[in-house]
């Protein structure tokens, strides 16, 4: 019989387990603390539970933690970890150090279904959703766990194509019983699945990032097939219904492709499209992938694009490329080679 994982369970589920095992009421709290607050690797280390209780737990459960099986380090200090999943697949997680921050970029799916033209993950096809346990494991099982300041859901996969597990993982990360992280330190990125955006806005206080990459629908549809289903117009209309002037923020990701989306008409249309939304645009350098017809915009064009948007009062920054030498940069994550490890 396959054991259930304790890690990833919510208080009500743990309370049910405690009840089923006829444990005293306070054992629920003890179990939660062992799972999320303390650094243990097995149920046997839950030292304030009796041996008999631990044996009972061991019969049906394990912690469900999976340490990384591989680590690569970039010249710029970025690290990329290879995490196994419970069904024998793999995902990559990037850890990006900055001056006063340590950001973890987590994956939500093995591969991706979205097929964006510029993304390496999409080239490996889709091999399954990660569970909430597997999403949080990428944080909990990191050697740098205690130093993490920010989390971005921008790794492999489309988070909003696995929304239920993403929301469950966010709850554990932000709840007092879990990691008690501020939602303001967590950003979830999507390519724009509108019904999922609506649900996310209703259920989460974490920041939202949207992959935009073109302000023109037809052009965007050639880069991102999702545009053919959920249009930019409808997405912007949906976003305008929410208030981003307070704690929760929205940003737009914009990878710059030479001669495709880096022209003055794009600046003009972006200004028109986003003028009623309090937002930030992150310009991202394109990291070419094999067989791609797209090329990165040159530095001067990116700088000009940024300045022009800032002049039009749209806060725009250029995101630093990190971990390119170990294929950990934006759009480069892939475990295609590891599928048969």
Partner 1 sequence: MKLTEIRILTNTCIAKSTYLLTFQRHFDFIPGQVVGISNSHGQDPRLYSIASGNKDKNISILYKVNPEGLLTPDLQHLQTGAPLLVTEPFGTFTGNDEPAWWIANGTGVAPFVSMFFSGMTNNKTLIHGNREAESFFFSHEFSTLLSDHYIKCSTVEKIEGFYQGRLTDYLARLKEIPVSIKYYLCGSAEMVVDTRDLLISRGIPFDNIISEIYF
Q: Which residues are catalytic?
A: 92, 330
Among residues 54, 126, 141, 318, the one that binds partner 1 under rule CB under 8 A: 126
Q: State the minimum distance, in angstroms, from the CB of residue 158 to partner 1.
A: 8
- Burial 257-289, CB ≥16 within 10 A → b, else e: beebbbeeebbeebbebbeeeebbbbbbbbbeb
Q: State the minimum distance, in angstroms, from the CB of residue 119 to partner 1.
A: 9
| Number of residues forming the site for partner 1 (CB under 8 A) | 30
Among residues 221, 321, 324, 336, the one that binds partner 1 under rule CB under 8 A: 221
130, 136 Cβ separation under 8 angstroms: no
Contacts of 237 (CB under 8 A, 6+ apart): none
89's tokens: 């697949």
Q: State the minimum distance, in angstroms, from the CB of residue 120 to partner 1.
A: 11
Q: Is 295 in the site for partner 1 (CB under 8 A)?
A: no
Helical (H) or strand (E) element with 277: none
* 67/125 with CB nearer partner 1: 125
Beta-strand pair 207-211/186-190: parallel
Q: Is 222 in the site for partner 1 (CB under 8 A)?
A: yes
Nearest residue to 297 (alpha-carbon basis) of 332, 259, 323, 268? 259
* 114/188 with CB nearer partner 1: 114
Q: Is 294 in the site for partner 1 (CB under 8 A)?
A: yes
CA–CA separation, 127 and 335 (whole Å):
10
* 113/265 with CB nearer partner 1: 113
2's tokens: 């396959």
Angle between the 163-174 and 194-203 helix axes, to the nearest 10 degrees? 20
Q: Is 210 in the site for partner 1 (CB under 8 A)?
A: no
Q: Is 259 in the site for partner 1 (CB under 8 A)?
A: no
Nearest residue to 235 (alpha-carbon basis) of 267, 189, 262, 273? 273
Q: Is 217 in the site for partner 1 (CB under 8 A)?
A: yes
Among residues 113, 272, 276, 320, the one that binds partner 1 under rule CB under 8 A: 113
* 96/112 with CB nearer partner 1: 112
3-state helix, strand, coil in the chain (%, to 5): 40, 20, 45
Q: State the minimum distance, in angstroms, from the CB of residue 229 to partner 1.
A: 5
Task: Candidates 22-30, 112-120, 243-251, 265-273: pick the segment binding partner 1 (CB under 8 A).
Answer: 112-120
Q: Is 263 in the site for partner 1 (CB under 8 A)?
A: no
End-to-end Cα separation, the chain, in angstroms = 25
Contacts of 80 (CB under 8 A, 6+ apart): 71, 72, 74, 92, 93, 94, 95, 323, 326, 327, 328, 333
Chain positions 82 to 111 lying near partner 1, rule: CB under 8 A, are 111
Q: Is 293 in the site for partner 1 (CB under 8 A)?
A: yes
Chain positions 12 to 71 lying near partner 1, rule: CB under 8 A, are none
Contact residues for partner 1, defined by CB under 8 A: 111-115, 117, 122-123, 125-126, 158, 161, 195-196, 199, 217, 219, 221-222, 225-229, 231, 234, 291-294
């Amino acid at each position: 019989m396959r054991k259930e994982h304790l890690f990833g369970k919510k208080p009500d589920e743990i309370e049910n387990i405690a009840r089923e095992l006829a444990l005293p009421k306070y054992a629920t709290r003890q179990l939660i603390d062992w799972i999320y607050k303390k650094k243990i690797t097995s149920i046997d280390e839950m030292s304030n539970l009796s041996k008999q209780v631990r044996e009972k737990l061991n019969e049906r459960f394990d912690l469900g933690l999976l340490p990384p099986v591989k680590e690569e380090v970039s010249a710029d200090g970025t690290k990329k970890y290879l995490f196994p999943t419970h069904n024998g697949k793999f995902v990559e997680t990037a850890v990006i150090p900055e001056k006063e921050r340590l950001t973890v970029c987590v994956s939500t799916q093995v591969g991706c279904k979205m097929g964006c033209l510029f993304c390496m993950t999409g080239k490996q096809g889709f091999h399954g959703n990660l569970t909430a346990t597997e999403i949080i494991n990428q944080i909990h099982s990191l050697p740098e766990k205690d130093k993490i300041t920010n989390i971005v859901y921008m790794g492999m996969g489309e988070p909003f194509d696995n929304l239920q597990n993403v929301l469950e993982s966010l709850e554990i990360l932000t709840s007092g019983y879990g990691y008690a992280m501020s939602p303001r330190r967590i950003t979830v990125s999507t390519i724009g699945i509108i019904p999922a955006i609506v649900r996310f806005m209703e259920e989460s206080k974490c920041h939202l990032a949207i992959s935009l990459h073109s302000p023109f629908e037809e052009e965007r549809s050639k880069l991102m097939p999702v545009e053919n289903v959920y249009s930019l117009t409808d997405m912007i209309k949906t976003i305008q219904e929410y208030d981003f002037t307070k704690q929760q923020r929205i940003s737009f990701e914009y990878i710059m492709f030479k001669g495709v989306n880096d022209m003055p008409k794009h600046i003009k249309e972006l200004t028109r499209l986003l003028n009623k939304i309090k937002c930030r645009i992150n310009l991202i350098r394109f990291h070419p992938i094999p067989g791609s017809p797209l090329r990165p915009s040159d530095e001067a064009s990116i700088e000009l694009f940024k300045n022009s948007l800032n002049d039009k009062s749209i806060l725009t920054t250029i995101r630093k490329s990190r971990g390119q030498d170990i294929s950990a940069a934006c759009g480069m994550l892939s475990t295609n080679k590891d599928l048969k490890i």
